[in-house]
């Protein structure tokens, strides 16, 4: 079995881990923004294949309550939801890319056709040449957004969807915080 790399979070109360404004039942609560950012940022720095474990350190008097509340399930539910949301975002973006590609191709075809027409109607002087080249550039600029979506924009969304899926099954361990002697 691979060695688990522990991600430790020290809390004074379990409530610090969750969004205090979320009225949902405990197992469906959102994580606190800072806690989520810390967990995701830390997990993102590790190698994609690294096995991780989330260790939540609480004062000893808070531990029993935390164990009864099934924190692991709440965290897993949260990251499962985030993974689903990221997948929906990626599907929407790819659908938007297909629409933008169709519109861009039609516009490019129109610009190329208009460019040919300008070549026949307007003398091949400077103005006609500038107009032809302008239409060519305009047609290709219309392809910018679909190409950006299909070549670059989906990568980070997919990356975070995979990271959230990994965090949705990461073992969660509660541990009593050692009392610091004065």
For 30-55, the pLDDT digits (tens) are 888 889 999 999 999 988 888 999 99
Tokens of 109: 């075809």
Mean pLDDT of the chain: 88
DSSP 2: P
Overall average pLDDT of the 63-72 stretch: 82
Given a cut of 70, is residue 182 above it in pLDDT? no
pTM of the model: 0.81
The confidence score (pLDDT) of residue 151 equals: 93
CA distance 89 to 16: 28
Q: Is the separation of the CB atoms in 169 and 52 below 8 Å?
A: no
| DSSP conformation class of 23 | -
Band of pLDDT at residue 96, cut at 50, 70 and 90: very high
Q: Hey, CA dihedral for 4, 7, 8, 13, is it positive or negative?
A: negative
**Residue 81, pLDDT above cutoff 70:** yes
Two tokens, residue 153: 């924009």
């Amino acid at each position: 079995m691979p060695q688990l790399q522990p991600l430790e979070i020290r809390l004074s109360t379990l409530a610090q881990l969750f969004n205090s404004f979320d009225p949902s039942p405990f197992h469906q609560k959102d994580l606190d923004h800072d806690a989520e950012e810390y967990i995701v940022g830390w997990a993102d720095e590790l190698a994609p294949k690294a096995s991780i474990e989330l260790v939540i350190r609480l004062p000893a008097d808070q531990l029993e309550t935390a164990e009864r509340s099934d924190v692991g399930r709440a965290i897993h539910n949260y990251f499962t939801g985030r993974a689903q949301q990221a997948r929906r975002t990626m599907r929407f973006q790819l659908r938007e890319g297909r629409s933008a590609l169709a519109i861009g191709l039609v516009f490019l075809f129109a610009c190329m056709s208009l460019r040919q027409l300008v070549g026949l109607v307007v003398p091949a002087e400077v103005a006609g040449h500038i107009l032809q080249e302008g239409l060519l550039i305009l047609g290709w600029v219309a392809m910018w957004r679909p190409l950006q979506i299909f070549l670059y924009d989906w990568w980070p969304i997919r990356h975070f969807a995979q990271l959230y899926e990994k965090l949705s099954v990461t073992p969660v361990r509660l541990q009593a915080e050692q009392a610091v002697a004065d």
